[in-house]
A and B are shown apart, each in its own frame.
Chain A
Amino acid sequence: MKTRAKNAILGRLRAATAAGFPRVSAPTIPRKPGGGVADFERFAAVLTTLGPTFEMARTPEEARQALTAYLAANDVKTAVRWDHPDLDAVSAAGVLAEAKVAVIAPEELPERVCPGLAAVDLGVTAVAYALCATGSLVMAAAPGRERGTPLVPRLHVAFVARSRLVPDLPTMLERVGQGPMPSALNCVSGVSSTGDIEFVYVRGVHGPLAVHVIGLDWL
């Protein structure tokens, strides 16, 4: 039954494309290479117009201070964090421990991860790429990098290393295409939002209510 539908559909499509289907006149016009800027100034300027907040850390120590201050200012009691080299570079685990934030290790999360994350205050992640033209954080799922961490908790802090900046989406997709696609790649530009009631713009709908980005200038 299943193959029958497939064969019938593909059969019709084949007949359609074989029977005098005009050759595409112009080959697809290649997109001009991005060539745009990839610096923190541009990234932060766009990012902050979309809702997230940004601060720059010039040294690992400044990054640790930034995270410590954020935890205190937002009354963070519980957190989850990704297993990511950029987080190790700022010893995020140590900062969370010092601040007496209860960190839920991935293995402590229940079988269904998202319900377990719903009561957590903060998700801490790093990015695979950050897009300067659109102020976007690009996060890739992997073992130790749960999809729910930047999505379900009330707050999200993302570390963005300078070496992760790329000009724009096509450049990012070109790089991503050089390796296998992760099971989930999320490009997030701003804070979850809606305009569904009378086009009044509201931030913080289903995803985190606030996103804070810490730039790692030396990395």
Chain B
Amino acid sequence: MTKTAHDFAKASAKALGDRQSRAILHKAIGHIRVLRQRSVNAMPDFAERQARAVAVRDKTLAKLPELLEKLEASVTAVGGRVHYAETAETAATLVARILSERGAKLVVKGKSMVSEEMGLNEVLEAAGIEAVETDLGEYIIQLAGQRPSHILAPALHVSKEQVSDLFARKFGRTSTDIPEMTRIARDSLRQKFLAADAGITGCNIAIAETGTVTVLENEGNIRLSGSCPPIHIALMTLEKVVETLADAAVVLDILPPAATGQTLPVHLSFFTGARREGERDGPREMHLVILDNGRSDILADPKLRSILRCIRCGACLNVCPVYQSVGGHAYGTVYPGPMGSVISPLLKDNPGDPRQPFACTHCAACSEACPAGIDHPALLQELRRRVSETETDLPVAAFSLLARHPLLFGGAAAVGRLFDPKLREVAAVAPDAPVGRFLRCREFPGLARPFSRRFKALARRLKRLQGGRA
């Protein structure tokens, strides 16, 4: 298992201590959940839509290599170019090369998780290319030198006062009026859109039969990025494809309601290749970068492959008690929450902490909310099992040994009994030792009167209760 520098447990402990961020997070997520619920309630056929979406996603995964080839042929036929990238790093290098070869200096970007996964901004910066995030939330995050914390609402953890301070520093214009702050951002970003040498966008759905890249958004920034600059580079991970326009319609039936509670977002754009003969705007060149970064191996893994059904709606994040408590940054990865806990540890470049799946409480709120029918708790359990196979967890190993040897168990319990009920205080002496860590967030079962001794009395009581019924 890959070792990462990020320690999910430490980062979440820190996040839990930040009361202000937790309060903002709580409010924001509560808001999205209400919107989503309202829209789901308004759709009597939601379950039917969901079943159709699951079927389409499964059909897609079963035909994935064929569909990607079809997509490539269609994109090429309409004047676009397709590039495959094995890892996040090669993808970022590839994008930087396309841009450098064309002398691009300024790039506008529309919200794309894949570009985050690639670490694209850093690579572009190193190549001397300025990359400006144009989604308002992402722009705020970029100006603040932070990372997104939610896949749909990247700045959901930032308060308006913080945005106001930031804009005052960056633009010398102050206001705490949100519409006015939005105008300040609009003015600044307009200049970038109009001057940009290239636009980089994500892709919510790619349609194999037509070679179309579909993007959903409310602000219009992605539409601008794909319309105005002379080069358009769209980034996708390989499972984002569907076969036909009809299949895309099935996914679009469920994605916006599950994501933001909208029936459709304000802008739903279908970009098919570069500008055509006689057209005077739109990109002269269109590139589609298809990233693997570990996903082909996930497809080969029958126990985990269903995570590739994910359509990035974010619904699972919004209902997850862990995400709600620690926020997106604690994960230290591009994809947070339940979907992130499954996918992140499996990525080749920039994977997450392999112990991230251990944070799951198995409440199953995520799988209930997921429009793609993904059973996250089962997948997380499988990931935990695999980690346990490769790592020895001392307390667990000790317990396993004791459980297999009744005599040893009895002995250990007798030692424990000596300290009970002062075990917590004893553990406090060495808070980072296994027992200390265990007790930090759990109640230890009472040892003074072990179950074996209480058993007889309990059995008598049970008999009494059952009384005449026996």
Name A's B-contacting residues (CB within 8 A): 2, 5-6, 8-10, 12-17, 19-24, 26-29, 31, 50, 106, 109, 112-115, 118, 133-134, 136, 141-144, 146-148, 151-152, 169-170, 173-174, 176-177, 181-200, 202, 204-207
Contacts and interface: CB of A to CB of B under 8 A. Distances in A.
A196 to B, nearest CB: 4
B218 A193 contact: yes
A109 B281 CA distance: 10
A112 B78 CA distance: 22
Interface string B143-172: 000000000011110111001000000000
A199 B68 CA distance: 37
Nearest to A20: B302
A188 B267 contact: yes
B219 interface: yes
Contact of B227 (A114, A197, A205): A114
Given A5-B86, A12-B297, A205-B182, A28 B268 contact: no
State the majority secondary structure of interface residues on A. Answer: loop
Nearest to A187: B268
B190 A194 contact: no
Contacts of B230: 112
Contacts of A192: 218-220, 266-267
Nearest to A10: B65
Nearest to B72: A6
Nearest to B30: A199
Contact of A118 (B59, B64, B65, B194): B194
B189 interface: yes
B135 interface: yes
Contacts of B268: 136, 169, 186-189
Contact of A197 (B140, B244, B249, B264): B140
A148 B227 contact: yes
A29 B280 CA distance: 41
A206 B186 contact: yes
A187 B264 contact: yes
A198 B296 contact: no
List 9 tightest A-B contacts by C-beta distance, closest first: A207-B220, A143-B278, A16-B300, A196-B137, A114-B228, A113-B281, A12-B296, A192-B220, A147-B227
Nearest to B262: A189
A148 B403 CA distance: 70
A9 B282 contact: no
A194 B271 contact: no
Given A16-B299, A28-B55, A206 B65 contact: no
A29 B269 CA distance: 25
Given A8-B86, A152-B228, A206 B299 contact: no
Contacts of A31: 52, 246, 249-250, 253
Given A27-B55, A177-B210, 14 more contacts: A13-B296, A16-B300, A106-B280, A141-B279, A152-B228, A181-B211, A186-B223, A187-B264, A189-B268, A193-B266, A197-B155, A198-B159, A200-B178, A204-B186
B153 A196 contact: yes
18 contacts: A2-B83, A5-B86, A9-B296, A13-B64, A17-B62, A17-B65, A114-B224, A173-B245, A183-B273, A186-B268, A188-B268, A189-B265, A191-B266, A193-B218, A198-B159, A200-B178, A206-B221, A207-B219
Contact of B136 (A10, A181, A205): A205
B65 A13 contact: yes
A186 B247 contact: no
Contact of A183 (B158, B220, B271): B271
Interface in B111-165: 134-137, 140, 153-156, 158-160, 163
- Looking at B51, B61, B179, B220, the one whose CB has the most chain A CB atoms below 10 A away is B220
Contact of B190 (A118, A177, A196, A202): A118
Contacts of A152: 224, 228
B170 to A, nearest CB: 15
A186 B267 contact: yes
Given A20-B302, A193-B219, A194-B219, A185 B178 contact: no
B423 interface: no
Given A115-B194, A187-B269, A198 B279 contact: no
Given A10-B68, A29-B55, A109-B280, A181 B246 contact: no
Contacts of B137: 194, 196
A141 B221 contact: no
B58 interface: yes
A196 B140 contact: yes
Nearest to B298: A16
A181 B77 CA distance: 12
Contact of A181 (B160, B178, B212, B299): B212
A128 to B, nearest CB: 11
B329 interface: no
Nearest to B195: A115
B69 A10 contact: yes
